[in-house]
Amino acid sequence: MMLKVEHIGIAVREMEKSKDLFSKLFNKTAYKEEAVESEGVITSFFQMGETKIELLEASNDNSPIAKFIQKKGEGIHHIAYEVEDIELEMERLKNEGFTLINDKPKKGADNKMVCFLHPKDTNGVLIELCQEIRTIDAE
């Protein structure tokens, strides 16, 4: 079951410049900056009540963020939903006919396991599912 919008991902060219911009806009600083090598991204998170804004800069030319910005420019990249049990949700969505981009959950940022649904099945919106990594899961 999808619990809430966990974060909205925004693709940016220059993290420092965008962090300053969003810090001014939100009147608060990012609570975390984290590189996710496997995704070719550097992320910065702003807590916005129940949800977050995730800024994403490409850390290499093969990054999906580099390709996105090259094609569409900076802007909203994805919507992430928090789920209770990511494997169960992936199974449900696969049975509903959605295309899973990764067939197993993978380590994301901010202590989450994540998976993505292809935007061709979701009205052109890249959807990310995330489940908090609970210590028991990590053992």
Site string for ligand LZKTLF4L, 3-22 (x = CB under 6 A): ------x-------------
| Phi then psi dihedrals of residue 110, to 5 deg | 55, 35
Burial 7-41 (b: 16+ CB within 10 A, else e): bbbbbbeebeebbeebeeeeeeebeeeeebeebbb
9 binds Co ion (CB under 5 A): yes
Instruction: Please tell me whether residue 80 binds Co ion under the rule CB under 5 A.
Output: yes
From the list ligand LZKTLF4L, Co ion, none, which binds 33 (C-beta under 5 to 8 Å, kind-based)?
none
* Out of 12, 15, 36, 113, the residue judged to bind ligand LZKTLF4L by CB under 6 A: 36
d(CA 101, CA 127): 10
Q: Which residues, 6 or more positions from 35, have their beta carbon under 8 angstroms from its beta carbon? A: 41, 42, 43, 59
- Residue 105, contacted partner among ligand LZKTLF4L, Co ion, none, CB below 5-8 A by kind: none
**Binders in 60-89 for ligand LZKTLF4L, by CB under 6 A:** 64-65, 67-68, 71, 77-78, 80
Side-chain half-sphere of 101: how many Cα atoms within 13 Å? 16
User: Cβ(30)–Cβ(45) under 8 Å?
Assistant: yes
CB-facing half-sphere around the CA of 29: CA atoms within 13 A: 4
Q: Which residues sit at the interface with Co ion, rule CB under 5 A?
A: 9, 54, 80, 128
Q: Which residues sit at the interface with ligand LZKTLF4L, rule CB under 6 A?
A: 9, 36, 39, 41, 43, 54, 56, 64-65, 67-68, 71, 77-78, 80, 101, 108-109, 112, 114, 116, 118-119, 124, 126, 128
